[in-house]
Amino acid sequence: MLEQQDKLLDVENLWVKFPTRNGVFDAVRGISFSLGKERLGIVGESGSGKSMTGRAILRLIRKPGIVTADRIMLHDKDLMTMSEREMRKVRGQRISMVMQDPKFSLNPVMPVGEQIMEAYAQHAKASKAEVKRKALDMLEAVSIRDPERVFRAYPHEMSGGMGQRIMIAMMLIPNPEILIADEPTSALDVSVQTQVLSIMDRLVQERGMGLIFISHDLNLVSSFCDRVLIMYAGRIVETCRADKLHEAQHPYTRGLLNSLPRLTEPRERLDVLKRDPAWREAQSVSGAS
């Protein structure tokens, strides 16, 4: 159990609903979890509500979507009761988010450097020269070899891995306490993936940042994170230590693990996941650490 002051984020009974022609669709159904200075993985298949959870924390769900929660506490402040104006101070500065595909998250008609400077200038009062120096430092911190050149380049001149590192640089420049990474590496090749992960890993360890790592890749999450929440149909079905993921108990988690082909254990046939309607109805497990 974490002490109250070690908890960076505490979410209680979070719902995300979308009204449709056929009634209200619940994307996230009453989940509770907390985050300390750790790497928390959220895994699940498409449609399990994992990305929606990440977005709901930052209150980025657009209308007509509805977010309700008993509380989303960032230290002692409840994000749910904040005004839009106060929220803008939180986004980026205290909690920031890295999206899946750098191609769609960077402005295509603005040089990379200016975008990073803009991100920083939003939150800090500093002279232009200082902002620029800070932006270059940040590019270096995410292992970009030639920061001066990248600074002047446009996003289309960058490779996928480079773009993702630029996104991370941009998100980290205000020194946030929490980083939400939504499938940050699924568009990247394995070797670039390792680089991006080690950058995030270092930041968690050096700065004491909290990381929410959303992914569909069970192997990756179990080797990268400290703790994992497994989501199914908008609920948390199981939570466990990441290195113990392969001993998970819930039939859904087991089913997912068994449906993965494994290099080390060849099999004739892969197990096919049989979905039990009872999983959908079962109460959410608490993800408090």
Binding status of residue 223 toward other proteins by CB under 8 A: yes
> Contact, 254 vs 68, CB < 8 A?
no
Return all residues near 241 (Cβ < 8 A) that are at least 6 apart.
Answer: 226, 227, 228
Residue range at the interface with other proteins (CB under 8 A); choices 21-29, 52-60, 104-112, 219-227: 219-227
Q: How far apart are CA 98 and CA 230, in angstroms?
A: 20
Give the Å distances, CA to CA, from 76 to 11, 67, 94.
Answer: 12, 20, 13
Structure tokens at 82: 């904040």
> Three-class SS of residue 134?
helix
Binding status of residue 52 toward other proteins by CB under 8 A: no
Give the E-state strand segments of 36-83 in sequence order.
Answer: 39-43, 66-68, 71-74, 77-78
Binding status of residue 68 toward other proteins by CB under 8 A: no
**Site residue total, other proteins (CB under 8 A):** 36
Among 33, 120, 151, 224, binds other proteins (CB under 8 A): 224
| Residue 32 burial (CB count, 10 A) | 18
Binding status of residue 69 toward other proteins by CB under 8 A: no
For the CB of residue 194, give the shortest distance to other proteins in the complex, in Å: 5
Residue nearer to other proteins on the CB measure, 115 or 193:
193
For the CB of residue 182, give the shortest distance to other proteins in the complex, in Å: 16
Q: Which string of x and - marks every residue 262-281 that binds other proteins (by CB under 8 A)?
A: xxx-xxxxxxxx--------
- β-bridge mates for residue 180, sequence order: 97, 212
Binding status of residue 42 toward other proteins by CB under 8 A: no
Binding status of residue 45 toward other proteins by CB under 8 A: yes
- Give the helix/strand (H/E) hosting 117: helix 112-121
Among 88, 133, 156, 202, binds other proteins (CB under 8 A): 202
The contact set with other proteins (CB under 8 A) reads: 45-46, 160, 189-191, 193-194, 197-198, 201-202, 205, 216, 218-220, 222-224, 255-256, 259-264, 266-273
